[in-house]
Chains A and B, each alone.
Chain A
Amino acid sequence: MMRAVVVDNELNAREGLETLLAERGDIAVVGSCANAIQALRTIRAVRPEILFVDIHMPKVDGFQLVAMIEPELMPCVVFVTAHEEHALKAFDENAVDYLLKPVQAGRLERTIGKIRHYLGEGGKPVYLSPAIERIPCVCAQGTKLVNAEDVEAVCSGETGVHLLTAQGEFLTELTLTLLEAKVPRMVRCHKQYLVNLSHVDVIGRVDPAAVQLRTRSGFQVPVTRRYLAGLKERLGI
């Protein structure tokens, strides 16, 4: 029995697909999400083998969602869309498959067959997903999306991963490793810190052993020796 999560901002579409999956009997729908943010949490919690995801969704679309999933959690992704042109792009992203809405049982059968075959051969899904553009953060009103290019540095602490921006600090559920991999010009400078090269203002030595960066908005970011050479190279100094 394979486990699947369905993500679509339209309840009807979601229910339609879930009904089709339930009728098959070989797939358990373990999560049903209306947007990418919910989906990220659900995927972390239930670790499904298959992800059915709508491409057009509010704020964070299907492609961005895939970019935000940690590689070790990556399920087989099936894009679902009403727009053929999106479907073609989905294929470029080398998704396992794509489905056109409204989903037809026969077409779904073929897709499931493909996935079964892929996983049976011991395949580990890896996708050429795009850079992350906006990072979902937790805030009092719900979810705030911070533009990735506005993030000056990222700090991982006991309370979680914080984005440091000119507008303040924001807590995100994405990991440091993922942000390092998926946000352009975001570079590791410390076990617990990333810095955005575009926002580095001053680089200096506090004492013979420690180097520190200051970002445009004045955040102090420590640099460990291990990352110093790489950082200098990226900065061109």
Chain B
Amino acid sequence: MFKLLFPLIQVVSFFLLVAYVYCKSPAYRLRRSELPGPGQKLALFVFFTLISVGGTYLGVKVQGAIANARAIGPVLAGLIGGPVLGTGVGLLSGLHRYSFGGFTALACSISTTLEGLVGGLVGLYLQRSTLQDRALSPLTAGLTMLAAEILQMLIILAVARPFADAWALVRVIGIPMILANSCGAALFMSILRDRRDIYDLAGDASTARTLRIAERTLDLLGKGFSREVAPRLATIIQEETDVGAVAITDRERVLAFTGLGSEHHRPGTPIMSEATRKAIATGEVVFLDGVKEPYHCTLDEGCPLGSALVVPLLVGHDVIGTIKLYEKASKRFLSINRTLGEGLANLLASQLARAHYQDQKELLVLAELKLAHAQINPHFLFNSLATIQSIMRRDEGRARALLDNLADFFRMNLKRNPELSTLQEELAHVNAYLEIEKARYQDQLSVVIDVDPRLLAFRLPTFTLQPLVENAIKHGVAEMLEPGTVGIHAYLAGSAVHIDVEDDGGSFKASPRGDGLGMSIVDRRVRNLLQDCPGLTVHCEPDRLTRVSLVIPCAAAPAGAA
């Protein structure tokens, strides 16, 4: 019996060597998180069939049969790749064994196929249960193999004839084969699994590093990309990646540099490296691997740095700067650091984009708050109340109507959609406002409204029109000795919607004291909310005319515009 055990152990040891070589090869790519795909299954099929066929060849001839390690292939194939793969390997290998002949030929080919099926069913069961990890455990492989080999012996006894020969054979090969193959399968699986774990761990480590950098930089980048933030960012990246040096630049200057060569790479100096300028110009990663393309420091001959990775920081479509990782000339630039560097730049860019978006949003909210504040301008309220009070003495009905207008105006301020309104809604808001102003200025103020009715459903940022009209009155008509006119015009010209608000005071000043706030907010809002909208333009002919124009290209109109 032991005469057989040692040759079998030899065969199994050879298989283990093959397994070790196999999992070093690029063909092996088992990952905990991935099930094998069709390509991988084919590779597994070929590999395990070869193992299995090899097991037949390397077997030991005993009493007209072969003591062998053939079953390891199908069983492991089944455990890893499922019943189809296991049965396939077993069938092919069984047919191959059948071609050798001998009184166990049929029994062996049937049993090999069935062993593959057993391996496959166990694998399938474990994959589908919560015990996924067990499918690839050495213990499972050993036990499955044990069961499969016992099954094989039973099949030999059941199928091979004469039975006496079969019984004699099983008595000799049974225990050595069962033991050697079970241990072999367990060790084989252990090799495969260890290799997989190494892959997974490597992946885990770089993922963990990226996550740690992300966590450490998130708060920092919330403050935007600046000279204050950059040095801390560079330090974090260098600590986590352990490369020779890290630099961060904006489009023109080095913002931070830490690590080797920091005595001559000074923050605040203009970008000297050709590679960096190229990365900024093209928005693409530039890699100087130090072998084919060495990095030469332009600042200092004795600079120890020999390779560099320059990753542009893209926010939207704009390169706002670069992150540079350097390695010294005597050290190889690890490809894991290269991947990490690129991933990092993506991460930082998206954090920056988020910060940028946050800025924009805050600006908008601020603008809205100020705008709302301007609407409920206490001076306007006082003036309106004074007007209504004096009208009340002469004409109670008119005063009551004006109070209604005032209430309407304030109610509309509160209830409006803060983003977009139709031109019609804007005009209603302006009309409520104008009713009060007309009562205040009486025949001093006349208003001409000329709006193309097709544009009534056109959408524009809420609170666009009223501040412009208010300006035209406050800085235009109210500054005139003679009666004045405010004109509101909306028309289509070319492929753009034109909205003009004009007065015949012609007293526009480029920076009106404080009160111009309303107009600059309107300008910012139309630019923010309507893409490609050039904002407000002002045309002023002194003492004759001030015209504030808003031109909205139709393509820029927000969705739903008429």
Contacts and interface: CB of A to CB of B under 8 A. Distances in A.
A and B: bona fide binding partners: yes
Interface of A: 9-13, 15-16, 19, 34-35, 37, 58-59, 82-83, 101-102, 142-143
A13 B386 contact: yes
B391 interface: yes
27 contacts: A9-B444, A10-B387, A10-B441, A10-B442, A11-B443, A11-B444, A12-B387, A12-B390, A12-B391, A12-B440, A13-B386, A15-B393, A16-B386, A19-B393, A34-B444, A35-B481, A37-B481, A58-B479, A59-B481, A82-B382, A82-B386, A83-B379, A101-B382, A102-B389, A102-B390, A142-B481, A143-B481
B478 A9 contact: yes
A15 B379 CA distance: 20
A101 B442 contact: no
Nearest to A14: B390
B60 interface: no
B383 interface: yes
Contacts of A19: 390, 393
Nearest to B483: A34
A82 B377 CA distance: 13
A107 to B, nearest CB: 14
A69 to B, nearest CB: 18
B317 interface: no
B293 to A, nearest CB: 69
A16 B481 CA distance: 21
A181 B322 CA distance: 67
Contacts of B382: 82, 101
A132 to B, nearest CB: 17
Interface of B: 379, 382-383, 385-387, 389-391, 393-394, 439-444, 478-482
B444 to A, nearest CB: 7
B483 to A, nearest CB: 10
B377 to A, nearest CB: 12
Given A11-B442, A58-B478, A16 B383 contact: no
4 shortest interchain CB distances as A-B pairs: A16-B390, A12-B390, A102-B386, A58-B479
B376 to A, nearest CB: 16
A59 B439 CA distance: 22
Nearest to B386: A102
A10 B387 CA distance: 9
A10 B439 CA distance: 10
Most-contacted residue by chain B among A34, A58, A59 (CB, 10 A): A58
Contact of A15 (B394, B439, B481, B482): B394
A12 B439 contact: yes
B390 A15 contact: yes
Contact of A82 (B383, B390, B393, B442): B383
Contact of B379 (A12, A35, A37, A82): A82
Nearest to A100: B382
B480 A58 contact: yes
A163 B322 CA distance: 66
B444 A16 contact: no
Contacts of B439: 12
A220 to B, nearest CB: 30
Given A12-B391, A12-B442, A34-B444, A59 B479 contact: yes
B444 A12 contact: no
Nearest to A136: B481
Given A10-B441, A19-B393, A101 B481 contact: no
B379 A13 contact: no
A13 B393 CA distance: 12
A22 to B, nearest CB: 11
Contacts of A12: 386-387, 390-391, 439-440, 442
A82 B378 CA distance: 10
Nearest to A101: B386
Nearest to A18: B390
Nearest to A141: B482
Nearest to A60: B481
Most-contacted residue by chain B among A9, A19, A142 (CB, 10 A): A9
Most-contacted residue by chain B among A12, A34, A58 (CB, 10 A): A12
Given A11-B444, A13-B386, A59-B481, 4 more contacts: A12-B391, A82-B386, A101-B382, A101-B386
A85 to B, nearest CB: 11
B544 to A, nearest CB: 11
Nearest to B394: A15
Nearest to B442: A11
B508 to A, nearest CB: 14
Nearest to A15: B390
B150 to A, nearest CB: 102
Contact of A58 (B383, B386, B390, B481): B481
A13 B481 contact: no
Most-contacted residue by chain A among B379, B386, B440, B442 (CB, 10 A): B386
Given A34-B444, A83-B379, A16 B389 contact: yes
A65 B439 CA distance: 26
A221 B439 CA distance: 51
Contacts of B441: 10-11
Contacts of A9: 444, 478
A18 to B, nearest CB: 10
B397 to A, nearest CB: 16
A155 to B, nearest CB: 25
A90 to B, nearest CB: 17
Nearest to A36: B481
Contacts of A37: 481
Contact of B440 (A10, A35, A83, A142): A10
Contacts of A101: 382, 386
A42 to B, nearest CB: 15
A102 B385 CA distance: 8
B321 to A, nearest CB: 47
Contacts of B387: 10, 12-13
Contacts of B389: 16, 102
Most-contacted residue by chain B among A10, A34, A37, A82 (CB, 10 A): A10
B192 to A, nearest CB: 84
B401 to A, nearest CB: 15
Contacts of B480: 58-59
A34 B389 CA distance: 19
Nearest to A10: B440
Given A34-B444, A82-B382, A82-B383, A13 B390 contact: yes
Nearest to A38: B481
Contacts of B440: 10, 12
